[in-house]
């Protein structure tokens, strides 16, 4: 029994790592006032990019760097559409997810099913790094001027604009940073957790990362608990198939996601702790 519990914790930590990276990035993007539903698309682009470069060069760390760039590129497109063009953030995010899934499937055909020759060394160290990163991002968000600016851009953009802060630039940086984090999360899947490339290998993890950001009330430290909880649920959905039919077990993480979103929402549909200007394009001079 103790071995079973320990194994669940270890596997939960392993799968929780990419979830945490993506969730931390979404926390910062949404704290600045921009919803990005394209996390799934950025993660799958990161997974493909990391695997392709790692397989070509034999260096998975370079693959993770490219994954960050791929995620950031997708987020930059989303930022341009929603911040500069002021398009609907939800529609743009959904389009980004479809773009990422389609593009990675098209480009990844020649890499399908190949095992990775060189995997990421010290996988557990990457998990520890994600924990340290969560603490660092929490400190930056609540105890530095930059963190105050990010939070203000999401709470009262007009007020922070009067102080000479470029709200659009702050949001751009936060969204692109979130994309890079999602890309690294996806890259970790293909060069460490499951060192291979298969179409759609993120399998809904991006949506769960968004739910974790909400579940954590947009707090980086709370996101740690959410990420590893969902990681453990994913592991159990496979582990318990010996005793229970696989279909309801495979639905378990997603069903729990829906329950979390429902439990954290206020009447009228507004989530507790949500930034006041979340999802609202900022137009200078308008209130």
Q: Please name the residue that has the structure tokens 């600016």.
A: 149
Q: Rg for the chain (alpha carbons), in Å?
A: 19
**Cβ-proximal residues to 7 (8 Å cutoff; 6+ apart), any chain:** none
DSSP one-letter code for 191: I
Residue 66 has what pLDDT?
98
Closest CA to 61 of 126, 133, 11: 126
137-192 pLDDT, tens digit each: 999 999 999 999 999 999 999 999 999 999 999 999 999 999 999 999 999 999 99
67-91 pLDDT, tens digit each: 999 999 999 999 999 999 999 999 9
Could you give all domains of the chain from N- to C-terminal order, each with its CATH number? 2-263 (1.10.3470)
Residue 263 has what pLDDT?
63
The answer to whether the beta carbons of residues 65 and 17 sit under 8 Å apart is no
Q: What parts of the chain have a pLDDT lower than 50?
A: 267-269
């Amino acid at each position: 029994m103790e071995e079973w519990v320990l194994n669940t914790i270890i596997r939960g930590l392993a799968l929780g790592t990419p979830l945490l990276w993506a969730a931390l990035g979404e926390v910062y993007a949404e704290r600045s006032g921009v919803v990005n539903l394209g996390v799934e698309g950025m993660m799958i682009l990161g997974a493909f990019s990391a695997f392709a470069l790692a397989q070509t060069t034999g260096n998975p760390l370079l693959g993770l760097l490219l994954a960050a760039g791929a995620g950031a590129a997708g987020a930059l497109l989303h930022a341009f559409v929603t911040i500069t063009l002021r398009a609907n953030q939800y529609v743009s995010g959904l389009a980004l997810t479809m773009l990422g899934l389609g593009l990675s499937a098209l480009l990844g055909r020649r890499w399908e099913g190949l095992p990775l020759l060189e995997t990421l060394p010290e996988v557990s160290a990457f998990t520890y790094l994600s924990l340290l990163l969560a603490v660092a991002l929490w400190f930056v968000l609540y105890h530095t001027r930059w963190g105050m600016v990010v939070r203000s851009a999401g709470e009262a953009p007009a007020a922070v604009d009067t102080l000479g802060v470029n709200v659009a630039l702050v949001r751009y940086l936060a969204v692109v940073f979130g994309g890079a984090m999602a890309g690294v999360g996806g890259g970790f899947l293909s060069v460490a957790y499951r060192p291979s490339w298969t179409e759609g290998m993120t399998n809904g993890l991006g949506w769960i990362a968004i739910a974790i950001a909400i579940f954590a009330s947009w707090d980086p430290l709370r996101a740690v608990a959410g990420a590893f909880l969902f990681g453990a649920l994913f592991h159990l959905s496979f582990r318990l198939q010996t005793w229970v039919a696989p279909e309801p077990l495979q639905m378990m993480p997603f069903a729990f996601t829906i329950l979390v979103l429902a439990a954290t929402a206020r009447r009228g549909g507004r989530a507790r702790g949500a930034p006041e200007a979340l999802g609202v394009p900022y137009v200078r001079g308008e209130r």
